[in-house]
Amino acid sequence: MSKPATICRVSAPAIRSRKGGTPLVCLTAYSAPMARMLDEVVDLMLVGDSLGMVLYGMDSTLGVSLDMMINHGKAVMRGSERACVIVDMPFGTTEESREVAFRNAARVMRETGCSGVKIEGGREMAETIGFLVSRGIPVMGHIGLKPQSVNTLGGYRARGRSDTEAQTILDDAVAIAEAGAFAIVVEGVIEDIARSITETIDIPTIGIGASEACDGQILVTEDMIGVFGDKVPKFVERFGDVAGETRAAVNAYADAVRQRSFPGHHNLFKLNRQREIAR
């Protein structure tokens, strides 16, 4: 009997090699069932710290802990076998020093089995990224609108509207790429900046609110499938209506319970045949 073919996960270098090719399809995933649904289709799944807001109802991502990321990272790994899985390093786990960052990122890699980590930050994180990459940890960067810096940026507005800000973001991208990141998330920047970053650096840019000029796109899955109804950022396109479907299903269930049409006969446990024969 021939052995079943081993399924190989898309690796960080494989993602890097897609620069300038067919756009990379990326989405967030936080759970095993969601990972199972996305695995066949996407190139990369990000266990984003956006889970703090999306799953836990937090006001920002700042309260997300390393343990939370590891638990959700493990779930996504259990639910998938093909896509590249990247886990976000939450606020406070990489900024102190490159050694602390390495220790925390190594724990994420070891305990989840993921393919790499994502670190938010510009030039100030380049040395840390280089340190991790040279020690075996693939790193994805994240520049532009950086949700972990909401307090210093003063909100979630799009970045790069002034020339100085645009230049800073481009310099950040170059520094992160030169440090050895395999790809970079570019969030909430105007189209011209996304285009010039994509044309300047030799690693894929993954846009979120950054136009089609990027080498790939990422969205928070729950935003894209319509879990939040209309309450989504301007850059999100809703490709489904999970909130509407869920409301309809809950109402149908409630009606069926109240009318005693659920559970039906096919939902009942029956006497097992052996016991019936034995009697």
Where along the sequence are the contacts to ligand KIV (CB under 6 A)?
A: 28, 46, 48-50, 88, 142, 185, 208, 218, 220
Closest CA to 40 of 87, 88, 86, 79: 79
DSSP for residue 145: S
For ligand KIV, the closer of residues 50 and 128 by Cβ is 50
Q: How far is CA 161 from CA 118, 170, 198, 208, 230, in A?
A: 25, 13, 17, 16, 26
Name the token pair of 170: 């481009």
Closer to ligand KIV by CB, 50 or 80: give it.
50
For ligand KIV, the nearest residue by Cβ is: 48
Q: What is the number of other CB atoms lying within 10 angstroms of the CB of residue 258? A: 9
Instruction: Please identify, using beta-carbon distances, which residue of 18 and 118 lies nearer to ligand KIV.
Output: 118
Strand residue runs (E) in 15-173:
24-28, 44-47, 84-88, 116-120, 139-144
| Catalytic entry in 81, 127, 178, 187 | 187
CB atoms within 10 A of CB 13: 12
Question: DSSP alpha helices (H): ranges in 95-241?
Answer: 98-112, 126-133, 150-153, 163-179, 191-200, 221-224
CB of 213 to ligand KIV, least distance (A): 17
Residue 183's closest CA among 131, 123, 247, 116?
116
Q: Based on CB atoms, which residue is closest to ligand KIV, 18 or 142? A: 142
| DSSP helix/strand/coil, 31 | coil
Distance of closest approach, residue 148 Cβ to ligand KIV, in angstroms: 9
Q: Is residue 187 among the annotated active site residues?
A: yes
CB of 111 to ligand KIV, least distance (A): 19
Strand partners, 189: 159
Q: Which one-letter DSSP state was computed for residue 147? A: G
- The token pair that represents 202 in the structure block: 């030799």
Q: What is the DSSP letter of 269?
A: -
Nearer to ligand KIV, 75 or 208 (CB): 208
Q: Which is nearer to ligand KIV, 220 or 227 (CB)?
A: 220
Distance CA 223, CA 230 (A): 9
Instruction: Give me the least distance between CB of 226 and ligand KIV, in Å please.
Output: 17
Question: Which residues are catalytic, by number?
Answer: 187
